Chain A
């Protein structure tokens, strides 16, 4: 057979076999990958809204999702808010949990970050950063306390502590949360979050 035909046949065969193999691999792994992603979200929600037995996504946008956290009886026990924003060097992905009235932040967890190791990366550290985010009043905007304080008692209820040497990363986390809170509150006022079912 002439060269031209051979070229076409070989390329087509290689393409088909490749496509075939890949669709098999896709079938084998697709579910698992989706499950991994869901597990991560579920764990985070359980962390920031303790006692969650069930959850649904009330609002889903590109870098922002609001989950309604519920107990066994399907009562709303809080919101878990997933948000992405610019950090110091790259994107920070986090989730924080609030009470059903959006007045109190239970806690915050960082899902993904690429901040400076040893400095900005400390935002994932409970001892040095995250514990200051527990039980914060978020009726109004939260503020950042600098320079950093030693104990939580020194902070006012709507203040969070900065990390010494990583003020910008700390600020970025705060900005993401404040922005998200604004969005959730206005969504709630517009009735977009649904009833208390």
Chain B
């Protein structure tokens, strides 16, 4: 397999290997915190923080960790960064920390992070791992942004708390409820697959 250029390493996280839409990872937080754009962004940033730093650390010390204890080590490293993120949010952004609730600690079981350590950071250089983590993070944030924008605009008529749709619009409350999250993500996944299929057909 030809080695990817640094640019390709980054871009793949945005679409071709987008963690949510193509790899179907990290769906729990995607559904849970996308009821408002600010929550989606905050979660995306927190997850990115953990992913990027974990990838950096894992990829730096990969040669030192015996194979049998690698998963345990990765988990401790990830959990440490998650705790840091959780604590800092609680200290400096209390309202958002409250809104995100238990979902920030749950970043520790977000399959995207452990998945990237296993699949990439443990096998690639620090530089490449960093770029990979950045790409995946961007892809994740974009996915959260998309979903939360749809849910907030249609569900409350606002974007980042500001009214964007006028008085004439009666919000679709279902969008804020769990049901709306599931259905919107399902449709978005379908759309992603549809676009992928059409692109394949055109190439063939």
B80-A6 in contact (CB<8A): no
Contacts of B186 in A (CB 8 A): none
* Nearest Cβ on chain B to A24's Cβ, whole angstroms: 9
B65-A10 in contact (CB<8A): yes
User: Would you list 10 pairs from A and B whose C-beta atoms are within 8 A, ordered by A residue?
Assistant: A3-B66, A7-B69, A10-B65, A10-B66, A10-B69, A21-B84, A22-B80, A25-B84, A116-B177, A118-B171
The closest CB in chain A to the CB of B88 belongs to A29
A36-B80 in contact (CB<8A): no
Judge if B195 is at the interface, Cβ distance under 8 Å.
Answer: no
CA distance A15 to B84 in the complex (A): 15
Question: Which of B's residues lie within 8 Å of A, judged by CB?
Answer: 35, 64-66, 68-69, 72-73, 76-77, 79-80, 83-84, 87-88, 90-92, 94, 98, 155-156, 171, 173, 176-177
Which size bracket describes the interface of A in this complex?
20 to 34
Contacts of B173 in A (CB 8 A): 116-119
The closest CB in chain B to the CB of A117 belongs to B176
Contacts of A119 in B (CB 8 A): 173
Contacts of B84 in A (CB 8 A): 21-22, 25
CA distance A40 to B155 in the complex (A): 28
CA distance A11 to B176 in the complex (A): 43
Judge if A112 is at the interface, Cβ distance under 8 Å.
Answer: yes
* Nearest Cβ on chain B to A172's Cβ, whole angstroms: 18
Judge if A18 is at the interface, Cβ distance under 8 Å.
Answer: yes
Contacts of A26 in B (CB 8 A): 87
CA distance A162 to B88 in the complex (A): 39
Of A11, A33, A117, which is within 8 A of B69 by CB?
A11
CA distance A112 to B80 in the complex (A): 29
* Nearest Cβ on chain A to B21's Cβ, whole angstroms: 26
A18-B76 in contact (CB<8A): yes
With A11-B69, A29-B91 given, can you name 19 additional A-B contacts, CB distance below 8 Å? A3-B66, A10-B64, A10-B65, A14-B73, A14-B76, A14-B77, A22-B80, A26-B87, A28-B87, A33-B87, A36-B91, A36-B94, A40-B94, A112-B98, A116-B173, A117-B35, A117-B155, A117-B156, A118-B156
A11-B73 in contact (CB<8A): yes
Q: A116-B173, A117-B156 are in contact. Are A6 and B91 (CB under 8 A)?
A: no
B66-A6 in contact (CB<8A): yes
CA distance A60 to B50 in the complex (A): 37
